[in-house]
Amino acid sequence: MTLSYAIYDVFTDTPFAGNPLAVVFGADALSDAQMQTIAREFNLSETIFVRAPDYAQHAASVRIFTPTKELPFAGHPTIGCAIALAEKNHDNIAAANDVLLVLEERIGPVRCGVKVSTDGASFAEFNVPKVSEPAGDGPSVEAAAKALGLGLADIGFDAHTPSLFNAGVTFAMIPVVSREALARVKLTSSETSATLGATEVFIYTRAEADAAHAFQARMFAPEIGIVEDPATGSAAAAFAGVLARFEDLPDGWHTLPILQGVEMGRPSLIGLEVGIKGAKLSGARIAGKAVKIAEGVLFC
């Protein structure tokens, strides 16, 4: 069996920046074990497998795997796959086109809007399928500082304290006082589920006043094979709950982009819009660009 695939750099308009993603097309005949093996072979933070949809009006059913496990939802595979399908199905376009499509993910259907570009990176956005909510008590300041190799004074800023939030995947959300502290983060243990309450750890700080983004972040998930991730859309989705809790956001929609991947040399810009209604989180949108850097054939 042979399958075509493409590699996209996601949350960037620059090749070899952002977060690389493998998109495997026509994966209907693959077993769970085969998909996990292929994801381990690519060894990227995520590989997404495209299959025929359960509902004809949808674009595809998809499965998302890290090198070690399957995820019910992830942001950079959603953005990258939506762009890959839109570009694949619109090869003959002469100008930028808007495409609406639905991906069937394990978390449920995800509606995506894509602006296909013929001379650069295409753009996609989607409504987060599950509103972020607390996932238990957050880790203590002491536990966070020890796990990240930082001092107690490095943890937290303004009203922000460590927390746990989930919008499909649970993240330990750890605020740090500055970009300098963010750059010093070094996990002291790979057992983050035991020390911080989650296998995925999102560390963030507020951006400087004149930046084009609102926050800067890093994400580590060593227990699932991700030493560090250049861009994490599912973390941004969960981060919407953090912002609703700790920021004084009035009702309405707020654009709060996140810069990630700087320390890895793969800067990524994640578009995040947070909806507030009645002083509570009502929804979130994730957006970003992606550029294809490779394509080929898998022999399975």
> What is the pTM assigned to this prediction?
0.94
What are 127's two structure tokens?
A: 């409504």
What total of structural domains would you count in the chain?
2
Q: What is the distance of C-alpha 159 from the center of its chain?
A: 25
Residues 293 and 275 in one domain: no
Residues 150 and 202 in one domain: yes
CATH number, domain with residue 189: 3.10.310.10
Residues 214 and 192 in one domain: yes
Distances (CA, A) of 241 to 19, 87, 163, 194, 280: 23, 32, 10, 22, 9
Residue pLDDT, tens place only, 159-195: 999 999 999 999 999 999 999 999 999 999 889 999 9
Instruction: Give the residue numbers annotated as catalytic, written as ranges.
Output: 46
Ramachandran assignment for 252, one of left (phi > 0), alpha (psi -120 to 50 degrees), beta (any other): left
User: Residue 234 belongs to what domain range?
Assistant: 133-287
Residues 173 and 278 in one domain: yes
Residues 58 and 196 in one domain: no
Residues 138 and 270 in one domain: yes
Residue pLDDT, tens place only, 148-161: 999 999 999 999 99
What is the pLDDT, as a whole number, of residue 59?
96
Q: Confirm if 275 and 253 have CB atoms less than 8 A apart.
A: yes
Residues 201 and 75 in one domain: no
What is the pLDDT, as a whole number, of residue 98?
87
Mean pLDDT of the chain: 95
